[in-house]
Structure 1
Amino acid sequence: MLKRPGILIPVFFLSLLHGTVTCQVQWPGTASAALGGSYVCMQGYMCTRQNQAGLGFIEQSSVSIQHARPYLLKELGISSLSGQFITGSGALGLALSTMGLRGFRQSSLWLAYGLRLHSNISAGVGIYFRNSTIPEHLVYAPGIGFSLGLQIRIEEQWQLGARLFHPAAWSTQSNLSEDQLMSIEAGLSYSFFKVAQVYSELHIKPGAYFTLCNGIEWILKPQISLRTGICSQPFIFTWGISMRFTKWVADFSFQYRAETGLSPLTSLTHAW
């Protein structure tokens, strides 16, 4: 007999949301969320948790905060704080994220570093720590994982990217959920006359399934960009807007999935 059957309710809702916005392993940056989950060719503040090779191409240090609150379960708060700091020809990234309900909370920490090997080539590595907290257990189902990334620029229009995420050890779990499986990702992006950029990626989980992610970004003005995208597995439609100020960037994104409804994400970044 279960001693705390009430814990099944929050765990059930978290399992529904875990594969999209709320996933602690693949927690998307707000910009990535608006592009159908595309990120292996992106650079900037989302790279700490995603393709770490993008840290090697950033030109400014920055600090970002992000928050999401799915409409299906408004009691669930999902928050993240990250920082990216230039160090020589590379950048160090740190990201702390947390989500949960009363009686159940998941937290994760990313440590990442991206290094520019050549003017057009960057590689990155990341290590990931995860823990859940339930009543009477401050440490429950902890885990650790590693990530390797690569980005290559070809002239000014093309960019290629690849990433490998491996959950090296999950000390208290014998069965991994789909979002905790090893993931192999590859993709490309193409820029049209500096007005639009198209992203296309393939994410493969060996032995489970594969996902095709596509997105496009339109630059209306130097300060305003519109984004939209689509993901095949699970089917997700996304859109968003980015507004840039002197040293600030505000991003607003929405993801719609039939099973979990609409999930908004917002983020604010300060760069220097």
Structure 2
Amino acid sequence: MQSLTRLFHALGFTLLLGLAMVPLASQAADNAPIPAIAAAANIKFALDDIVKNFTAETGLKVRVSYGSSGNFVAQIQHGAPFEMLLSADERYITELNKVGFTQDEGVMYAIGRLALVAPKKSPLTLDIELNGLKTLLASGKIERFAIANPDHAPYGESARELLKKFGLWDDLQTKLILGENAAQAAQFAVSGSTQGGIIPLSLAMAPQFQALGHYVALPAKYHTPLYQRMALMPKASSTAERFYQYLQSDAARSVFTQYGFGLPNR
């Protein structure tokens, strides 16, 4: 694992490590508190762009922590000072809303997709029917294959569903490398220590990933839809509320589209 960590630093993935840490509140130049936002790891690159645009347009700042949606739900229920959650699966927002941890049921902001990926020197042939993966697995040449942990990461859960659909789940059990979240799974998938993985399309499309690996987008019909929903916490600040509205704007929706997301109807 130490060698993997050194590799991630060398690849410029430092920002993706320690994804689920809760940030301390700090003060903006105008003394307004900077709200802490929890966001699913699969939207990191898209949301980084959106945050940059939001600050440029409004002068306001937000501080984002990236991680698995399931872990964030547990943190929020134990008092983590997040003012908004952007979940990779809408059921987590529903769960929080039922017990009073969100203002309301929130809104859907994006629809996710999966991608089959491999490092550039991998022998894995990429195709939407996973025939290349089947062949390589049958030949005994798949040693490691990365997905997010399906127990608390929605994209890992969907990857498991897809692999089961193609009859590959059981044979891959001993080969799986589980990322704590979708972004860590993407790191593993291009680290060179695996032959590939199934990760969010949004991460596979990022320039940081394409410099190291290649991908094929997988049809959404192969798994349960990944409806991504966000909601504000009861004590959200005016800055968090303004960012929440900005995420529903044409400018923000355009960025999500650039990273391969589908968009919900308004």
Q: TM-score range by the shorter chain?
A: under 0.3
User: RCO higher in 1 or 2 (8 Å CA, sep ≥ 6)?
Assistant: 2
What is the TM-score of this pair, normalised by structure 1? 0.25
What is the TM-score of this pair, normalised by structure 2? 0.25
* Greater strand share, structure number: 1
